Amino acid sequence: MDDSTTQANGSIALVTGSTEGIGRETALGLAREGATVLVHGRDREKGKAVVDRIERETDGSAVLLLADFGDREAIRDFAKAIRDRYDRLDVLIHNAGATFEQYGETDAGIERTFAINHLAPFELTHHLFSLLEASDHARVITTSSGVHRRATIDVDDFGTEGNEEYNGLEAYGRSKLANVLFTYELSRRCDPASITANAFGPGFVPGTQLSRGAFRRFRLATGAIGYLPDALLGALPGPIGTIKGGARTPIYLASDRDVEYVSGQYFEDREPVLSAPQSYDPHLGRELWEVSADMLDLSATDPSIERGEQRDGSSGLFDRATARVLRRRA
């Protein structure tokens, strides 16, 4: 009998934003457990260094794929490259994320924190859904943040119109709340026997590059604490931790047998905990889903995910999956 607690061996795992920080440590951890890891970022040199490390230090293997998540065409090409190369995806970790001090928009005219942190994972899940369905059992994991608890979302106003009132921390918190709402809605649309969806907060991990574009106060705080040695960081009280510590929960969610069928939960330190009250509102979850799909006009981009009306009145791949789950539960 196989009594190992990990199921990563032989799995195919995409970790977005794995050229740095928590994502890189997660990619290394999954490769150590025998996964084939699709390493993602924007910088070829940094990505190559991660792939080389995985091949040198682990039994797993790795492939590098580049895409700027502020560019929709790049996201579509990225997903297509994965679909062309693989016939299934067992683990999808939405980890790439960014913060910005100044207001800015993507080429599509969408505020960039919201576009990169929420719309990109939403769109990527959409384009990779057929590969998730083709897996015996797939896990979708999204890196949110405890900061989501300080945010609220109004689908009529994402705070993305114009820059006068822009507050980088608020925009970041809103995108991280959107990550949790997206996760819960995805879990409602999928049968956990086939696909699970969970989110987590890694705690405050000052040693990463996240503060690069961030608001000044955050940059100063992380800059100072980030230089502390791991031994000291690990010993600090509260949610401040090392990069290795931050990667423990995603590695656990991606590989451990104990959470194979757990879905629709928010984790901290490998334990399910309560997320913000607003994140549990299923109407808001559905609304955010629909507004996100509309913002991306997904029907026009990929014939495999036509949003044309289905016989059951639902639309699109996700909705067909939902309809199947509901039929089975009826």
Ligand X SMILES: NC(=O)c1ccc[n+]([C@@H]2O[C@H](COP(=O)([O-])OP(=O)(O)OC[C@H]3O[C@@H](n4cnc5c(N)ncnc54)[C@H](OP(=O)(O)O)[C@@H]3O)[C@@H](O)[C@H]2O)c1
Footprint of ligand X on 22-41 (CB under 6 A) = 22-23, 41
253 lines the binding site for ligand X (CB under 6 A): no
Residue of 201, 180, 250, 191 whose CA lies nearest to 8: 250
Min separation Cβ 127 and ligand X, Å: 15
Structure tokens at 129: 């859904």
Each residue 91-110 as x (binds ligand X by CB under 6 A) or -, in order, gives ----xxxx------------
- Which of 205, 214, 259, 298 is close enough to bind ligand X by CB under 6 A? 205
Cα–Cα distance between 284 and 315 in angstroms, integer?
19
Each residue 128-147 as x (binds ligand X by CB under 6 A) or -, in order, gives ---------------x-x--
Residue 69, classified by CB atoms within 10 Å of its CB into exposed (0-12), middle (13-18) or buried (19+), is buried
Nearer to ligand X, 13 or 22 (CB): 22
Nearer to ligand X, 29 or 97 (CB): 97
- Which of 9, 32, 34, 46 is close enough to bind ligand X by CB under 6 A? 46
Nearer to ligand X, 66 or 325 (CB): 66
Residue of 103, 101, 106, 129 whose CA lies nearest to 116: 106
- Which of 14, 63, 116, 141 is close enough to bind ligand X by CB under 6 A? 116
Structure tokens at 91: 């683990």
202 lines the binding site for ligand X (CB under 6 A): yes
Q: What is the CA radius of gyration of the chain?
A: 19
Which residues form the catalytic set?
Answer: 172
Q: Using CB under 6 A, which of the segments 11-19, 128-136, 254-262, 280-288 binds ligand X? A: 11-19
Q: Using CB under 6 A, which of the segments 65-73, 84-92, 157-165, 276-284 binds ligand X? A: 65-73
Q: Could you tell me if 153 and 181 are in contact, meaning their C-beta atoms sit under 8 angstroms apart?
A: yes
Nearer to ligand X, 43 or 52 (CB): 43
Helices 120-134, 316-329: inter-axial angle, 10-degree rounding: 50
By CB under 6 A, how many residues form the interface with ligand X? 28
Residue 9, classified by CB atoms within 10 Å of its CB into exposed (0-12), middle (13-18) or buried (19+), is middle
Cα–Cα distance between 296 and 273 in angstroms, integer?
31
Q: Using CB under 6 A, which of the segments 129-137, 190-198, 205-213, 230-238 binds ligand X? A: 205-213
Nearer to ligand X, 30 or 98 (CB): 98
Integer distance in angstroms from the first to the last C-alpha of the chain? Answer: 35
43 lines the binding site for ligand X (CB under 6 A): yes
Min separation Cβ 175 and ligand X, Å: 8
Cα–Cα distance between 14 and 93 in angstroms, integer?
6
Min separation Cβ 146 and ligand X, Å: 7
Q: Using CB under 6 A as the criterion, which residues of the chain lie in contact with ligand X when the complex forms?
A: 17-23, 41-43, 46, 68-70, 95-98, 116, 143, 145, 201-202, 204-205, 208-210
